[in-house]
Amino acid sequence: MLIAVDIGNTNIVIGFIDGDDIIGTYRLTTKTRRTSDEYAMMLSTFMTMSHIRPEEVDDVIISSVVPKVMYAFRSSIKKFLDLDPIIIGPGIRCGINLRLDDPKTVGADRIADCAGAYYLYGGPVLVIDFGTATTYDYVDENGTFSAGVIGVGLETSANSLWSHTAQLPEIEIEQPETILATNTKTAMQAGIYYQYLGGVEYTIAQFRKEIGHDFKVVATGGLGRVLYNATDSIDVYDRQLIFKGLAIIYARLQKQGARGKGRRS
């Protein structure tokens, strides 16, 4: 049993992986002031809900872009499971070659997504993660992560619109029935949705233009399905890509002898 954790700016998502099967996923809000005991209590609750006992857990692997959370969260793993978790970062052999100006600045979630997309769907591949930010990461046929783009996320963009305008309400982000809006809610939905969708399609087209050949496009992230259902520019939508990528990295570490099963602190 492997516990895979993605600590993002908005949410912490925890997945329980038994062999090749993801048997449960849980989400909690990212807060920098939680204690290790609070994290341990939440983890214990999630494990109980999935009928997992602490002694069944072989290892924990973590992807994090929020350094302030890491001390308490890592301590919770050591305290509750008596395991020293793997932290994706510099020095971890993830199976993806980072050919960028400063590889140390690349988010661990992007690395895990790229590993998942490349080893599951092949390369060359453009990996799009629709999260708090929207990232576009290109991995070539040899598994080299050679270029990436970071843009504003769909929900982040929408939040900015209604938080900076006095008379515009907070709305649900979804594809409207028509762009010919006749009320404020539909006008906002149409504007947010189609402006964002057009930007996604143009960004993918620009990658193709500058790279000079075709590639597969794999999308993930909570709002990714909203865009995937409306465009032919995205080939695959995989909501669980981050967990699959973390599992792939963990399996590679085991094969390399860099991580033994059930390594206790």
**Which of the residues are catalytic?**
109
**Is 129 assigned to a binding site?**
yes
**Is 143 assigned to a binding site?**
no
**Is 13 assigned to a binding site?**
yes
**Residue linked to tokens 């509750």:** 80
**Is 30 assigned to a binding site?**
no
Q: Using CA atoms, how far apart are residues 124 and 84, in angstroms rounded to an integer?
A: 34
Is the separation of the CB atoms in 172 and 158 below 8 Å? Answer: no
Q: Give the DSSP letter of residue 31.
A: -
**Is 110 assigned to a binding site?**
yes
Q: What are the E-state strand segments in the chain?
A: 2-7, 11-18, 21-29, 59-64, 86-87, 97-98, 125-130, 133-139, 144-152, 216-220, 236-237
Cis amide prior to 54 (ω within 30 degrees): no
Closest CA to 82 of 143, 129, 40: 40
Q: Using CA atoms, how far apart are residues 125 and 94, in angstroms rounded to an integer?
A: 17
**Is 109 assigned to a binding site?**
yes
**Is 235 assigned to a binding site?**
no
**Is 184 assigned to a binding site?**
yes
**Residue linked to tokens 């971890």:** 92
**Is 108 assigned to a binding site?**
yes
**Is 10 assigned to a binding site?**
yes
**Is 101 assigned to a binding site?**
no
Edge-to-edge, what's the strand order for the sheet holding 144-152? Answer: 97-98, 144-152, 133-139, 125-130, 216-220, 236-237
Q: How many CB atoms lie within 10 A of CB 126?
A: 27
Q: Known binding site for K(+): residues?
A: 129
Q: Known binding site for substrate: residues?
A: 107-110, 184
Q: Known binding site for ATP: residues?
A: 6-13, 132
Q: Known binding site: residues?
A: 6-13, 107-110, 129, 132, 184
